[in-house]
Structure 1
Amino acid sequence: MRPVVAALAGVLTVGLLSGCGQGAGNAEGALQIGVMLFNTDLPAYAPLTAGIKAKADELGVQVDIQNGQLDPARQAQLVQQFVTQRKDAIVISASDADAIVPAVRQANAANIPVLGVTNDIGDGAQRLTYVGSDNVAFGEILARGALEATRPDAKVAVILGALGTTSERERTEGIEKFVAAHPGMQIIAKQSANWDNAQALKVGQDLLSKYPPGTLDAIICEGPEGAAAAKYAASAGRTDVKFIVGDTSQDVMAQLEAGTITATAFQNFFDQGGTALQYAVDAASGKEGDVPQPDAYAPIDLYTVADVAKIPANSLF
């Protein structure tokens, strides 16, 4: 439980009484929601953004989506800009959970509700809720997929996401937690690919070169960029190494069907975007009691080829 959440109810109440939600948006007749996404160039942010926009159209609110460009300083500036513009609520996906805290405090001081989406906000600032996966559980699911696809004494390598992001830190924690609970398993290598396809391919090539057949059972990639490494492994005849990847892109789904990827941890970014926007509107409308707190965790599932038909098209990127 986050200790600051209980205090937030009082902050929001004061804000509503003192004019929170009466900014530029209401002057024009529609709520104004600011959304800061740490890097809209990431493929996974396409369905997330689409979900936000679809829900905004459904609810008749105006949404201002800004790209943080993987730069913590820019992300803080964008949140500060939303505060200056008196947005009715702010939704944040920060690349660094702790670095965004001072900017969120400014929103708190202005009585503007703040929500996290996909990546959480660090301690020391008040946010109403976090919409996204439980990333520790996500990491555990990935490690379970590796165990089920290989053997009890499996040797695994992990391709990490961007170091310092909430999802990277917590997914790594989950993987390590699962492995620690299964003493036969062993993590023999970890390296970041920064959620980037080209970097993941290079890391995968390096791992397969370093660990010949019989010395590596599985590669766990915390994001969908592991598809690039999996495709290379198949072309190089390294079918001895099983690939388990986080999140489900079109390429990942195609490789599930082809058998080059064994399993994927699936979450629906489109739904998460729409849910975050809905809760932001609820908070801005004085209905923060309708918002699950302190977290609104989204479903996560381990999918194999048998589950491809379950994957909705709007979730793919």
Structure 2
Amino acid sequence: MTITRRLFTIASLGIVLGAALAAPAMAETKKIGVLIYNIGVDPWMNVAAKSLEADAKKLGYEITVTDGRNDVAQMNAAIDQFVIQGFNAIIVAPSDPDSLVGSVSKAIEAKIPVISYSMGLAPDANATAFVGSNEELIGREQAELAIKLLGGKGNVALMTGILGTSPQIGRSKGQHDGLKEAPGIKIVEEQANDWAHDKTVALIQDWLSKYPKGELNAVFAHGPELVAAAEYAKSQGRDEILFFAVDYPEDARRAIQEGTLTATVSQSPALLSELAVNAADKALRGETVDQKIIIKTPLVTKDNVEEMPADY
């Protein structure tokens, strides 16, 4: 190779290297970690997980969804791993307000925004925001409608969700506070069904045996699994019992249309997911995020069911 050609080659290489050094670095991949205490607990959580994934991807985030399987140690470890692996934000639906406070606090200290999704965290977790519903209002909405339809008198039974979760605590308080307004209504049963279909059916079977026709006037639950209980009661000729659920899947809509379910409360997992991802994105961009982002939870009854498509 001649000296002239060698100098040209070196000069060309210098131009290439200079251009490479001057080029902007590849944008860092943005990652959101999602921890749900138990994805398999009911279809609502499955819809929530899929909605969170879709909404995060729309905003350019890679997303990792972890199922906590209702194991506190596993859930804390998952949050710790999100921090160690450099995730930009975390969205968490905890099993109860207190058990993840330590790991969430460490994430906040590491300057990682943490959004509490649907299930609340204790204040000392210092989470960036809570995106969810007014749980006490949900319970009170059920109670007020029941009082109206029962004329302020009767025996009612309550099925609660998983004990210790923020929805269970809030909805139970709302139901009790609301029913206190009608001294003629008596709570004769209150047991956990854990949002589970089999436990729900087992409870209604027990209660129908225990309370003959006319002695049980209404049943409340914290989730849509109550449709199964309402259908069973109808099959046993117990049409006199009113059933009040929470959440609005397609089978709840159909049951209201058919007159099997008296009412439910709409709490859209798709809307909550969109708001949670947007809150995480705003926090990462340095924008102000409201500490509480609460959605409306309208009652669905035979009077408005035709105007309201199911949430999932």
TM-score, structure 2 normalization: 0.88
Query: 1:194-252 CA deviation, whole Å, 9 max, x = no partner?
Result: 01011111111111111111211100011111111111000000011110111112221
**Helix, strand or coil for the counterpart of 1:182?**
coil
- Does the CA contact (< 8 Å) of 2:105 and 2:127 recur in 1? no
- Asked if the contact 2:57/2:63 (under 8 Å) is kept, the reply is no
Q: CA deviation at 1:66?
A: 0.9
Deviations 1:61-114 (A, max 9, x none): 111111111222211111111111121111110111111111111112212111
Q: Report the aligned-residue RMSD.
A: 1.6
CA distance in 1: counterparts of 2:49 and 2:293, whole angstroms: 18
Segments of structure 2 that go 5 or more residues without pairing to the other structure are: 1-24
Q: How does 1:99-114 map to 2 (within 5 A)?
A: 99-114=99-114
CA offsets 1:149-169 (integer angstroms, 9 cap, x no match)? 322012210011001111011
Q: Which moved more, 1:248-257 or 1:230-239?
A: 248-257
Distance (whole Å) between structure 2 residues aligned to residue 276 and residue 311 of structure 1: 23
Letter of the structure 2 residue corresponding to residue 302 of structure 1: L
Residue 63 of structure 1 corresponds to 63
Q: Quick one: which amino acid aligns to residue 292 of structure 1?
A: D
Aligned to 1:285: 285
SS in structure 1 opposite 2:63? strand
Distance between the aligned counterparts of 2:306 and 2:61, measured in 1? 33
Counterpart check, 1:297 vs 2:289: no
Q: Is 1:39–2:38 an aligned residue pair?
A: yes
Change (3 A) 1:56 1:312: farther
Match of residue 91 from structure 2: 91
Amino acid at match of 1:39: N
**1:132-147 alignment to 2 at 5 Å?**
132-147=132-147
| Residue 27 of structure 1: how far off its partner (Å) | 7.6
| Paired residues, number | 287
The whole-number CA distance in structure 2 between the counterparts of 1:308 and 1:48 is: 22
Which protein has greater RCO, CA pairs closer than 8 Å, 6+ apart? Answer: 1
Structure 2 distance, partners of 1:85, 1:312, is 40
Corresponding residue SS for 2:124:
coil
Secondary structure of the 1:124 match is: helix
TM-score when scaled to structure 1? 0.87
- Using the alignment, how far apart are the partners of 2:253 and 2:269 within structure 1? 15
CA contact (8 A) 2:147 2:182 kept: no
Q: What residue identity is the alignment partner of 1:37?
A: I
1:205 has 2:217 as partner? no
Aligned 8 A contact 1:160 1:191 in 2: yes
1:74 aligns with 74
1:128 positional shift: 1.5
Matches of residues 1-317 of structure 1 in structure 2 within 5 Å? 29-41=28-40, 42-287=42-287, 289=288, 291-293=289-291, 295-313=292-310, 315-316=311-312
Matches of 1:126 and 1:113 in 2, distance apart? Answer: 10
Task: Note closer, same or farther for the CA distance 1:203–1:310 as it changes in structure 2 (3 Å cut).
Answer: same
Give the secondary-structure state (helix, strand or coil) at the position aligned to 1:306.
coil
Please give the alpha-carbon distance, in whole angstroms, between the structure 2 residues aligned to 1:196 and 1:183. Answer: 31
Change (3 A) 1:85 1:168: same
1:119-141, Cα deviation, whole Å (9 max, x unpaired) = 01113211121111110111111
Q: How far apart, in 1, do the equivalents of 2:280 and 2:26 lie?
A: 18
- Supply the distance in 2 between the matched residues of 1:157 and 1:76 (Cα, whole angstroms): 35
Distance 1:102 1:235, change over 3 A: same
SS of alignment partner, residue 296 of structure 1: strand
Report if aligned partners of 1:136, 1:171 keep a CA contact under 8 Å in 2. yes
Q: Residues of 2 paired with 1:85 and 1:200: CA distance?
A: 41
What is the one-letter code of the residue matched to 1:126? N
- CA distance in structure 2 between the partners assigned to 1:148 and 1:67 by the alignment: 41
| Aligned mates of 1:147, 1:281 — CA distance in 2 | 43
Give the Cα separation in 2 of the matches to 1:186 and 1:213: 16
What percent of counterpart residues are identical?
31
SS of the residue aligned with 1:136? helix
Distance 1:142 1:185 in 2: 14
- How far apart in 1 are the matches of 2:285 and 2:117? 19
Q: Secondary structure at the match of 1:64?
A: strand
Tell whether the 8 Å contact from 1:149 to 1:262 is kept in structure 2 after alignment. no
